Structure formats: C-alpha cells, structure tokens
Amino acid sequence: MMKLRHKNKKPSKGSKGCKKVSWSHHQPAKQNGKKAASRVASAPQFVHSNDRANWDTELKKKREEVLQELNMFPQLDDESTRKAYYKEFRKVVEYSDVILEVLDARDPLGCRCFQMEEAVLRAEGNKKLVLVLNKIDLVPKEVVEKWLDYLRNELPAVAFKASTQHQVKNLSRRSVSVEQASESLLKSKACFGAENLMRVLGNYCRLGEVRTHIRVGVVGLPNVGKSSLINSLKRSRACSVGAVPGVTKFMQEVYLDKFIRLLDAPGIVPGPNSEVGTILRNCIHVQKLGDPVTPVETILQRCNLEEISNYYGVSGFQTTEHFLTAVAHRLGKKKKGGIYSQEQAAKAVLADWVSGKISFYTLPPATHTLPAHLSAEIVKEMTEVFDIEDTEQANEDTMECLATGESDELLGDVDPREMEIKWLHSPMMKIADAMENKTTVYKIGDLTGYCTNPNRHQMGWAKRNVDHRPRNDSTVDVCPVDRRPMLQRIMETDPLQQGQALASALKNKKKMQKRTDKLASKLSDTMMSVLDLSGNADDSAGD
C-alpha cells in the first residue's frame, strides 16, 4: 500500500455549491466514521511544511524520469504494435506447456484476458493455465485471500510478490546481509511466493511424469510484472523491467534450470473498446494522451480520497478539476500566462498511478459464475494436474511470510556452503538440539553437525523423490526418510525442488537460531538467579 508521508490534515468544512459534477458520491459513503462529503471544502487547502520541500523535489524528479521513460516506448494502443505483440504471444503459447497468466492483485479481473485464456485452452498440445496474483504487497491480506478464494473456482492461483529491487543490481546479491537488512527493506523489495510457484510447476512435472524439460510461458497485460516475476524466479537480471508499459517487445527464453524454461512475452493489449480502462491498466502512454483528465476522474472514484489528499498535500476539493488545479499548484505545473495546467497535473497523477504510487484495489464479485470458456471438466483437470490442495496451504504461507518479511528470495543471499559451515560450528546449536532431542546428528568429513528432521510440509522432496531424467520405467520413487546430511540431500535432489528445500533449510536454521537465543537467555537468567541466590545467601549469612 502507498505509504503516507504526512499526517492527515483535516480539510476545512466548506460549501456544497460547486456546480461541476462531483465524483465524491462514488466513494464509500463513510470513511473514518464521517461522510466523505463532509471532508469537502469550497477551496483547495495546501499542506505547508518544511520537510515537504525535499519530498516534493524527489517526487518531481521521479515523475520526470517516468515521463521521460514513457516517451521512449511505442504507443501500445497503436494497431500495428498490438498486432506485433499478439504475434509474439501466439508464439509463446505455441512453445509453452504451461502458461502463467500474471494478474495485478489490485484488479485481477480487470487485467484478466479471457480471449487469451481461450486461445491457450484451444491450442494444440493440451496446454495448462495457472493464474499468478502478483503485486500482493499492494493489497490488504484479506483482499488477496478473497481473490484467491474466488479464482480457485476457475484455475489454480498462486499469490506472488515479485522482487522489486533496484534492477541494475544482480537480484540475488544484496549489499546488506540477511541479518542486517531491515524488515521494511526485506518486505518492500524481496520476492514472496517463488517457492510456491516452483512447487506448482514441480507438481506438474511430477504428476505429468515429465522426462526432459517444460516451457513455461509468462503472459499478461503490460506492466503487471511478468518480467519482474521471471527475474525473481531466476534471481538475476534476465529480463528488462520498467515502470512503464511495453518494456518487453519480443519473446525471450530464460533458462530457469535444467527442467524449466521460461518464456517472457510482451504484454497483451486489449482492444480499443474502453480507453479509460486501457489507460488505467497501464496500456497507453500517459504522455501521449489527448484527454488525461477523464482517467483521473476514474482514479478519484476508485481511490481512498484521504490517502490521495495526503499524498499530494491537497484537500478540500470537490471536483476533479478542482483537485487537478490544486495538484498543479503544488507541483508548479503552469501553462503560458501563468495559469495552472490541469492537463499537466493529470499526466503527473497518471504517471504516479502507472508506477503504483497511488493505492487502490478492487474486491471480487459477491457470487461466482464460471466464465463461458471454462467448463467444470477443465477446472477439475487443472486442479489435479497441479496438485492444488498443496498450493492452497502454500499460498497461506506466502502471505504469512509477506507479513513477517521472511522471503524465499533470501536464499539468493546465502551461500549454501557458508550456511552449512556456520550451522555446523555453532556450539549453542548443539546444546539447543541436545536439550530438545529432536535432531539428527550427522557428519561430513571431520565435521559433525545437527539438523532437525524436516517435516512433510517443509521438505516435499523428502516425501517423494522424483527423478526427471529419461528412464525406461515411469514409476515415481518413494523414499524412506533420508538421514544423510541436509545439504548433501538438497544437492542430490531434483533441481526443481532445490530452491524449496534450501528455503526450508534456511527457515529451519532461523528457527534453530531463535531457539538457541531463547536457550542462551534462559541459561543466562538461570546463572543470574544462581548468582542472586548466592548474593542473598551471603546477605543472609551476614545478617
């Protein structure tokens, strides 16, 4: 969600006499117990504060960067671009076994493309579809849950938050260590849900007895985060990412590992039926819009007015025009003759919308009806082929991790060998383990180590160890619980599952560290109380 940088300023109560059409009736009737209309004032009030100046400069700079970038890319509503992109999309479908349709969690239905889904389901080769609900960090958890509940009636859906690290750096290497990184840094930039998505693809390989590799096409509207998702899975900068639509222009193939190849596609641009909808879904370049004011009107209908007032430091507006004049004033957007420019302000607001700075979200419809292109058989087939029950619990875990800032992408920062050595040499760990007596003792060469036995959920690979290499028989191996060293087991396991296994190992490590710390403080408390007791004893002896 958008972070508010300034405290709420209550707008003054004002007149109701504005003649222009007001959008305030589109807002929820009450916010913070007051009618939205009661916040409306006759004239814009500007927030004046010194610390605002720096923020304004920063905001202006960023907005100019976005607008500059916007100018560098083609007009996506242009017919020839649309056709060229569609051709690329067809190629992706043709080459893929599984299609991931990336949706923006803020408006999943709005960016879902039924024609595209139909094309996938009709294509030769029995292709499978998975919905990826991306940008879950921009939406309250309850809303994500509601959408997952809704979407699972149709297709497998995976909750995801792509890494949004500074894209120039290799995503897998952070300049701060996991321990040093603040929770907010981890929360804001790390990836969540990669483990689950890999699990879903792994399930498909396992249940479909895939012998070589699969191709996974990543499709969706422009700017929904397709490239960010691929980069997060790849943990390196495989594809270019940008806060503007149309960064990806051609199909690109990315080797995730031996068994999975990802295909990045340019965004699908919907037809020209609803221009406002298309703009708001980031499919049209803001800078080139003839009428930027109408989409801002729609934004104001969808957003929380209080948040938007605080974001721009303006309040007391009653109409879109009123709001835009106030924003133009704040941002210093003037036309010739010194008149504040509503158009320029509207483009600035739209640039903020496109780059996700203005928060909003939609709720799923109250009742569910199956879209015409999906039948009960298709839903059943998709559910089975991806082992969806497994995924639903994992979606819960993803959201739990997002809430606590515990990302599966953190693995990228940890060298497994380093992890092993730290792990093996921690004396406190031995005490903790010995005390709790729930661990396996193991040896690598001269080193002795301890690890907790993985549970079923943490170590899916221990339950069923699938060999994906071509073989004569097609049975799935079921292994007994493996008691060899953790890392050795991980390295020997199916590469598709290694990320997941390492994630679990890292989680275990963290848990053990917590336990160790707890134990250490317990020990120190005990020692302190022993010392206190001796002190008391001395005192009493003295008495």
Ligand X SMILES: Nc1nc2c(ncn2[C@@H]2O[C@H](COP(=O)(O)OP(=O)(O)OP(=O)(O)O)[C@@H](O)[C@H]2O)c(=O)[nH]1
User: H or E segment at 452?
Assistant: strand 447-452
Query: Nearest approach, Cβ of 194 to ligand X (angstroms)?
Result: 11
Site string for ligand X, 443-462 (x = CB under 6 A): --------------------
Q: Rounded to the nearest 5 degrees, what angle is found at the Cα of 335, between the Cα atoms of 329 and 336?
A: 135
Under the binding rule (CB under 6 A), the answer on residue 245 touching ligand X is yes
Q: How far apart are CA 28 and CA 26, in angstroms?
A: 7
Query: Nearest approach, Cβ of 76 to ligand X (angstroms)?
Result: 8
Tokens of 94: 């043709």
List 225, 270, 292, 485, residue binding ligand X (CB under 6 A): 225
Under the binding rule (CB under 6 A), the answer on residue 292 touching ligand X is no
Under the binding rule (CB under 6 A), the answer on residue 241 touching ligand X is yes
Q: How far apart are CA 22 and CA 401, in angstroms?
A: 41
List 108, 202, 242, 313, residue binding ligand X (CB under 6 A): 242
Under the binding rule (CB under 6 A), the answer on residue 161 touching ligand X is yes
Residue nearest to ligand X (CB): 225
List 164, 203, 287, 391, residue binding ligand X (CB under 6 A): 164
Under the binding rule (CB under 6 A), the answer on residue 202 touching ligand X is no
User: Considering beta carbons, is residue 172 or 383 the nearer one to ligand X?
Assistant: 172
Instruction: Give CA separation, 320 vs 58, 301, 317, 466, in Å.
Output: 25, 10, 8, 59
Contacts of 436-445 with CB under 8 Å at 24 or more apart are 436/515, 440/483, 442/483, 442/484, 442/485, 442/486, 443/485, 444/420, 444/485, 444/487, 444/488
Tokens of 509: 């490590």
Q: How many residues would you count in the chain?
A: 543
Decide if 352 contacts 358 (C-beta within 8 A): yes
User: Considering beta carbons, is residue 229 or 429 the nearer one to ligand X?
Assistant: 229
- DSSP tag of 401: H
User: Considering beta carbons, is residue 135 or 468 the nearer one to ligand X?
Assistant: 135
For ligand X, which stretch binds (CB under 6 A), given 217-225, 392-400, 463-471, 530-538?
217-225
Q: How far apart are CA 156 and CA 159, in angstroms?
A: 10
Decide if 269 contacts 81 (C-beta within 8 A): yes
Size of the site for ligand X (CB under 6 A): 26
Under the binding rule (CB under 6 A), the answer on residue 227 touching ligand X is yes
Residues 115-134 that bind ligand X (CB under 6 A): 134
User: Considering beta carbons, is residue 109 or 293 the nearer one to ligand X?
Assistant: 109
Under the binding rule (CB under 6 A), the answer on residue 270 touching ligand X is no
List 313, 356, 449, 460, residue binding ligand X (CB under 6 A): 356
Under the binding rule (CB under 6 A), the answer on residue 108 touching ligand X is no
Residue 22, burial from CB neighbour count under 10 angstroms (0-12, 13-18, 19+): middle
For the sheet with 260-264, list strands across it.
Answer: 157-159, 128-134, 98-104, 214-219, 260-264, 252-255
Under the binding rule (CB under 6 A), the answer on residue 165 touching ligand X is no
Under the binding rule (CB under 6 A), the answer on residue 137 touching ligand X is yes
Under the binding rule (CB under 6 A), the answer on residue 82 touching ligand X is no
List 27, 228, 315, 504, residue binding ligand X (CB under 6 A): 228
For ligand X, which stretch binds (CB under 6 A), given 50-58, 219-227, 430-438, 524-532?
219-227
Under the binding rule (CB under 6 A), the answer on residue 224 touching ligand X is yes
Measured on CA atoms in the order 11, 13, 19, 22, is the torsion positive or negative?
positive
Contact residues: ligand X, CB under 6 A: 134-135, 137-138, 161-162, 164, 220, 222-228, 241-243, 245-248, 266-267, 355-356
